Chains A and B, each alone.
Chain A
Amino acid sequence: MADDVGPHGDDPREHEEPQLPSPTIWPFGFAAGITLVLVGLIVGWPIVAVGAGFSVIFGFLWIRDATRGVRRLPAEPPEEAAAPAPAAPEGPLRYGRARFLEGATLGLGGLIGAAITVPVVGFSIAPAFVGQKTEDVDLGPLSNFPEGQFQVTTFDSARSEGAVSRRTAFVRYNGMLQQVPSFTIISNRCAHLGCPVQPQGPMDEKSKKTVENGAVDLIPTSPSGFGCPCHGGAYDIEGNRIQGPPVRALDRYEYSIRSNRLILGKRYSVAHVTGTGANAKVQAYPRADPGQHVDGWEAWLYPLIPH
């Protein structure tokens, strides 16, 4: 009998003994899920849902791992028989424990690292996208804007930010359209790369007016169009591109009239303007950064715009 149990005789007996499932780290995730469920019962239902999801996923992985030997039993014996016999009894067991500790260290280290990294990276990036607001700007009474003349209008677009939010728009009163005052308000940011475009015509610096306690500057001008000093983009009087690198017309601002005052709203992008003055038809699009196409096939290059 003793002779029978040689180095080769160990293998069958090994399989008859109850085998411990190999250690896994899934129970940690399962336990964390249960904890989340319990915490969620106090704090809020979304956390319960997350915890339940964790429990189900990690529970499934745990069960899958624990039953692997049972499920694959028919397939495994030939593989193990092929393995070198002397190393078999002790080798895998020690290795399994080392692997468990290695996996646990890496897994826990990874979790801790992720727990620190995710909020930090989120804090560095998320504020650039979430909670972006634009303020309405009061440009003063309508009488500041004589009919048919552009005013180079400079204003603080965000009062709390001060001079860094200083922006310029070209504002023209077009007269009444169906008993409502009509304005053309063109942004001075070039649709190529965002340089400030200049009115192509005399600026009446002597008639400069500062209104609204210094918050708004008005300089009358009579341009034939607008030109950009940076790379030579040129626009007509309605902001349509005439020549140069810009990819669309100049941006415009929404506006409203409240108590006979001109209130500047959001900026939006314009593909093209047909007609002039109060009768202009504006192909409006959500605001895009300079240089981005808003129409045509090139617009497909920018499927998502975070404004």
Chain B
Amino acid sequence: MLPVDWLEERSGLIGGLRYFLFRKVPRETNWFHTLGSATLTAFLVQLITGVILAMYYKPDPKTAYSSIQHITNDLTLGWLVRGMHRWGASVFIILLFLHMGRVFLFGAYKYPRELNWLVGVLLLTMALGEGFTGYLLPWDQTAYWATVVGININANAPIAGPFIANILRGGNEIGPDTLARFYSIHMLLIPGGLIGLITLHLYLVIRLGITPPPWTRAAEGYAAEEPVPMRRGLVEPRPRGNGNGAVVRRGLPTVPRRPES
């Protein structure tokens, strides 16, 4: 494993990866805890299929609709990639809500994880923004009029509404700039923010640990038994001093220190 050691010695990336993948989790984790990863997977599917669709899509009022027809009908497997992106969008949103419901019902938003809940709410808002901006891109009648209505709903917010509407449209009316604007927001602006916030979200999950389900002994404040290390990495994962290990309270996972060997 020379290349791996070489990389590890110079970057510590392998140890970091092991720390991320083989970290300790409460004994009672169950399938509900996979909803976050499922949401992340749905996002990655959107990311990849979106990048591929962007190779063929033309964000111009004269060509947008025909380029989508071209993707769907002419290009090999274009129907599949477009379908994945179109239906995957719904899957992403549904999983987001299920994940949010799990976090709520397990009380996983409580101290010290409030910040991660807030980040999650921002992620939800931005995901809905992706849905809103992506809906216009097929540039058919449904897309156009749904966006007219959506922008006008924004315009009805008190005081700021008329300005939000103009910023979204790029002017007083939906025009040639609006489609390119939505495309840019859909594929550059919001995804960039999403990637950044997802990174923060995951960092906080790893730092604070996984919440055990509320019906378990661990959730009642009993310390977990000493877990047997699953696997020894090059860099041994250690609980951080001010992270999950130090704060022992009701409802928090306890990560015991590994016995010195």
Interface assignment of A304: CB less than 8 Å from any CB of chain B: yes
A164 touches B61 (CB 8 A): yes
Residues from chain A with Cβ under 8 Å of B145 in the complex: 195-196, 230
**Chain A residues closer than 8 Å to B166, beta-carbon distance:** 128-129, 306
Residues of B within 8 A of A291 (CB): 152-153, 155-156
Chain A: minimal CB distance from B223 (Å): 43
Q: Which residue on B lies nearest to A305, using beta carbons?
A: B162
The one of B152, B159, B176 that contacts A194, using a Cβ cutoff of 8 Å: B152
A183 to chain B, nearest CB (A): 22
Chain A 115-140 per-residue mask, 1 if CB under 8 angstroms from chain B, else 0: 00000000001011100101000000
B174 contact set on A, CB distance < 8 A: 164
Instruction: Tell yes or no: A158 within 8 A of B by CB.
Output: yes
Q: Which chain A residue has the least Cβ–Cβ distance from B60? A: A164
Let me know if A193 is at the binding interface, CB within 8 A: yes
Give the residues in chain A near B169, CB-CB below 8 Å: 128
A193-B161 contact, Cβ under 8 Å, with A161-B175, A306-B166: no
- Evaluate contact between A289 and B155: CB separation under 8 angstroms: yes
**Which size class do B's interface residues fall under?**
20 to 34
Q: Given the interface contacts A128-B170, A193-B148, A230-B149, does A164 sit within 8 Å of B158 by beta carbon?
A: no
Min CB gap A45→B, angstroms: 32
Question: What's the Cα separation between A134 and B171 when bound, in Å?
Answer: 11
In the bound assembly, the distance between CA atoms of A155 and B163 in angstroms comes to: 27
How many angstroms between the C-alpha atoms of A307 and B171 in the bound complex? Answer: 9
How far is B177's CA from A132's CA once the two chains are assembled, in angstroms? Answer: 13
Chain A interface helix/strand/loop/mixed: loop
Across-interface contacts of B161 in A (CB, < 8 A) = 289, 292, 302
B5 sits at the interface (CB 8 A): no
Interface residue A290 (Cβ < 8 Å from any Cβ of B):
yes
In contact, A302 and B149 (Cβ under 8 angstroms):
no
Q: Which among A288, A290, A306 is the interface contact of B163 at CB below 8 angstroms?
A: A306
Question: Which single member of A163, A230, A307 contacts B172 (CB below 8 Å)?
Answer: A307
Q: Is the interface of B mostly helix, strand, loop or mixed?
A: helix
Chain B residues with Cβ below 8 Å from A305 are 162
The 8 Å CB contact of A195, one of B149, B165, B167, B177, is B149
Contact with B along A188-220 (1 / 0, CB 8 A): 000001111000000000000000000000000
> Complex formed: what's the CA distance from A303 to B174 in Å?
23
When distances are taken between beta carbons in the complex, the residues of chain A under 8 Å from B158 are 301-302
B62 within 8 A of partner (CB): yes
Chain A residues numbered 269-307 whose CB sits less than 8 Å from any CB in chain B: 287-292, 301-307
Contact digits for A93-129, partner B, Cβ 8 Å, 1 yes 0 no: 0000000000000000000000000000000010111
Report chain B residues within 8 Å CB of A224.
none
Name the residue on B nearest A196 (C-beta): B145
Q: How far is the CA of A301 from the CA of B169 in the complex (A)?
A: 21
A128-B171, A162-B61 given; A289·B148 CB < 8 A: no
Known: A302-B162, A304-B162. A290 touches B152 (CB 8 A): yes
A165 within 8 A of partner (CB): yes
Which residues of A lie under 8 Å from residue B177 when comparing CB positions? 127
Contact residue among B151, B156, B163, B176 (Cβ-Cβ distance under 8 Å from A161)? B176
Interface size, chain A (Cβ < 8 Å): 31
**Cβ-based interface call for A157 (8 A):** yes
Q: Is there contact, CB below 8 Å, between A195 and B148?
A: yes
Contact with B along A148-165 (1 / 0, CB 8 A): 000000000110011111
With contacts A289-B162, A291-B155 known, is A165 near B175, CB below 8 A?
Answer: yes
Closest approach, in angstroms, between the C-beta of A198 and any C-beta of chain B?
Answer: 13
B173 within 8 A of A: yes
Residue among A132, A194, A301, A304 making CB contact with B148, cutoff 8 Å: A194
Chain A contacts to B: CB under 8 angstroms: 125, 127-129, 132, 134, 157-158, 161-165, 193-196, 230, 287-292, 301-307
Given A289-B156, A289-B165, A292-B156, 15 more A-B residue pairs with CB atoms under 8 Å apart are A125-B167, A158-B175, A162-B61, A164-B174, A164-B176, A193-B152, A194-B148, A194-B152, A230-B145, A289-B162, A290-B155, A291-B152, A292-B155, A301-B159, A302-B162
- A and B contact pairs by CB, cutoff 8 A, 30 listed: A127-B177, A128-B170, A129-B166, A158-B175, A161-B61, A161-B176, A162-B61, A162-B62, A163-B62, A164-B61, A164-B175, A165-B173, A165-B175, A193-B152, A194-B148, A194-B149, A194-B151, A196-B145, A230-B145, A230-B149, A289-B152, A289-B156, A289-B162, A289-B165, A290-B152, A290-B155, A292-B155, A301-B158, A302-B158, A304-B159
